[in-house]
Amino acid sequence: MKKVIIGLSGGVDSSVAAHILKEQGYNVVGAFMRNWDSALNNDIRGNDTINDDVCPQEVDYADAVLVAKKLGIEIKRIDFIEEYWNTVFSYFINEYKNYRTPNPDILCNKNIKFNAFLKFALNENVDYIAMGHYAKVRHDETKSYLLKAKDQNKDQTYFLCMLSQAQLRKSLFPLGDIDKPQVRKIAHDLDLVTKDKKDSTGICFIGERHFKEFLKNYLPAQPGNIVSIEGDILGRHDGLMYYTIGQRKGLNIGGSSKYENAPWFVVGKNISKNELVVGQGFNNPLLFSTSCICEDLNEITDPLEIGKVYQAKIRYRGEDNPVKVVKKDKKTVVEFVNPIRAVTPGQAIVFYDGDICMGGAFIKEVYYNGEKRQY
């Protein structure tokens, strides 16, 4: 009987994943990862007066304990607070400081769930680690492949694009072949405490918070003008870091006799003037690009072929777009077969060959026909 230790988060997905592993005949152990400590992080910042509400981690831990008891498995509680701060949260803050829009979940998977946790697991002499992600893994004799989940609406391979072959080789994803309604049904059939618990949509391991207020704890806001493409002042922004390319909500731009009554979208950032540039129309030409330069390319199993057409996602649950990798070096150049809307620096571009996730890279610069976008 092979031993598996599963990240038991206190949510319905990992709860059902643990049950499936037991049904498959594994010796299953649960582990609850604690990676955020408000008091400790206040000490690290040197400021204990910051308004930083306590995360609902204790509630999640209590639920994980009840799930483990119901399933008849052992549960461990482990802390990766320092690792999370150094390898995920500091990067997250630095990206916002540089006016990019980061995706902390990707680094959380790479550095915490499949690195720090994997090291812990190996010291426990387990054969595999497992997570409640919606993804598939195929272990061949010498290679392992990451594949899209059966539930395409929930597929989470986008967040796993930075895994190494060594990490994937030791991983299992029990939910790869079932969909979310089935997960809920299994949880109800087992009467798990997590059966109706809503899915988490907050920052990885930090929880759901008022995002602007939370970020103000770490970065001072620098309000400025919202301007049209023509340079007209249309309103005020709270700080360029709070806005992302293609964003519509939260601009609070009033009507103007000079412009049509059409929705406004963020089309750029003039960092030198601290101006948020907006344009009208979902398909505003300034929102489209034809190529990007990326860094930190990660190839999971096989190398990407120069010039081959792959499908790529530029955001979670985004549509697949045909692209070509034309250069691989410290900086990777990706050309889009068709212009793509709202390609955003800081986000990941993830490559697919059919259902196989080939890997990903972080977008740094965006271009339209060779001209750099003001993103």
Residue 57: pLDDT over 90: no
Contact between 209 and 53 under an 8 Å Cβ cutoff? The reply is yes
Residue 41: pLDDT over 50: no
pLDDT of res. 59: 86
Q: CA 239: distance to chain centroid?
A: 22
- Structurally, at CATH architecture level, domain 221-280 sits in Roll (2.30)
d(CA 103, CA 193) in angstroms, rounded, equals: 30
Task: List, for residues 208-239, the tens digit of each pLDDT value.
Answer: 556 677 788 888 889 999 999 999 999 999 99
Strands (E), 158-257: 171-172, 224-228, 233-237
pTM of the model: 0.91
pLDDT of res. 3: 98
Contact between 41 and 85 under an 8 Å Cβ cutoff? The reply is yes
The catalytic residue positions are 108, 204
Residue 56: pLDDT over 90: no
CA dihedral over 337, 106, 126, 75, signed as positive or negative: negative
What is the residue extent of each domain of the chain?
A: 3-213, 221-280, 287-372
Sequence-separated (6 or more) residues with CB below 8 Å from residue 294? 331, 332, 333, 334, 349, 361, 362, 363, 364
d(CA 270, CA 274) in angstroms, rounded, equals: 6
Beta bridge partners of 277: 227, 268
With CA atoms as reference, report the closest residue to 227 among 262, 260, 261, 273: 273
The CATH code of domain 287-372 reads 2.40.30.10
Residue 40: pLDDT over 70: no
Strands (E), the chain: 3-7, 27-34, 74-79, 128-130, 136-139, 144-147, 171-172, 224-228, 233-237, 264-270, 275-280, 288-299, 309-313, 321-327, 331-341, 348-353, 356-368, 371-372
CATH fold of 3-213, please? Rossmann fold (3.40.50)
Sequence-separated (6 or more) residues with CB below 8 Å from residue 123? none
